[in-house]
A and B are shown apart, each in its own frame.
Chain A
Amino acid sequence: GAGVSQSPSNKVTEKGKDVELRCDPISGHTALYWYRQSLGQGLEFLIYFQGNSAPDKSGLPSDRFSAERTGGSVSTLTIQRTQQEDSAVYLCASSFGRYYEQYFGPGTRLTVT
C-alpha cells in the first residue's frame, strides 16, 4: 500500500516490560513524526526525524522513551520499563517536508497492565 503503516496495531504488555513500535512511512517522505494520544487528550508530539536525524526530541516524556530511524525510512519507537501511564495510541506520520501536510498511520494501541 502507499500509506503509512504501523505495527503492531495492538499491543498489550505487562508493566516493566520493554516494547517496540514500528512505523513504515510513505516512500520518499523525508520527515517522520511520532505522536501519542491518551484517552480524552489531543495528539501529543513526541519526536520528529528529518532523514535519519532527530533535531527535536523535546516531546519524549522521559528517558525510557527512545526512537531511531534507519535508511531514511523505517522508524522504531522503543519504550523501556513500561508504566501504566504509557497506555495510549501511538501515531506515526510522515511528510515530504515542513511545507507539506502530514500523513498518519492507523496507530498502535498500547495497553500496559
Chain B
Amino acid sequence: DQQVKQNSPSLSVQEGRISILNCDYTNSMFDYFLWYKKYPAEGPTFLISISSIKDKNEDGRFTVFLNKSAKHLSLHIVPSQPGDSAVYFCAARSGSGTYKYIFGTGTRLKVLA
C-alpha cells in the first residue's frame, strides 16, 4: 500500500519554463512534507518542506503547495534550469511523535536547454 504516490515517473520541461511535480498521499495523519532532489550516484538532498498547518512555502525558485482536502502536494520550480534535472522525491512524516518518513517513488525531471 503506497501511502505517498508520485504518479508521473518522468517530466520534461524547457529551460525557463515552470516545472510542476505532483505528489498525492492517503494518510490524513501526515503532518510534515518534504521534497528531496537526487542526482545519479548521490544521496538525496533536502530541497524544501511544508508543515500541514500551511498551504504554501516558498524558497527562491522553489515553491511547495499543500492541499490538505485533496491530499495533494506539488513542487513548482520557476524558472527551470538545466541543473534542476534530477529525480525528485516527496516524503511525508507519519505524525509528530515519530521520525518515520514515507517516500514516494520519485519523478525524473529533465530540463531541456
Contact = CB atoms under 8 A, between A and B. Distances in A.
A107 interface: yes
A101 interface: yes
Interface residues of B, number: 25
- Secondary structure class of chain A's binding surface, majority of residues: strand
Interface in A75-113: 91, 93, 95, 98, 101-107
Interface string A47-67: 010100001101100000000
Interface in B59-113: 89, 91, 93, 96, 98-106
Contacts of B96: 98
Interface string B27-57: 0000000101000011111100100000000
Task: Determine which residue in A45, A56, A101 has the highest number of CB atoms from chain B within 10 A of its CB, and name it.
Answer: A101
A43 B99 contact: no
Contacts of B93: 98
Which of B41, B99, B105 has the largest number of chain A CB atoms within 10 A? Answer: B99
Interface residues of A, number: 27
Given A42-B89, A43-B89, A102 B102 contact: no
Contacts of A31: 99
B49 A43 contact: no
A98 B16 CA distance: 35
A105 B100 contact: no
Given A42-B104, A42-B106, A98 B43 contact: no
A104 B99 contact: no
Interface of B: 2, 4, 6, 34, 36, 41-46, 49, 89, 91, 93, 96, 98-106
19 contacts: A4-B43, A33-B101, A42-B89, A42-B103, A42-B105, A43-B44, A44-B103, A45-B102, A45-B103, A56-B99, A58-B100, A91-B44, A98-B96, A101-B46, A102-B101, A103-B45, A103-B46, A105-B43, A107-B43
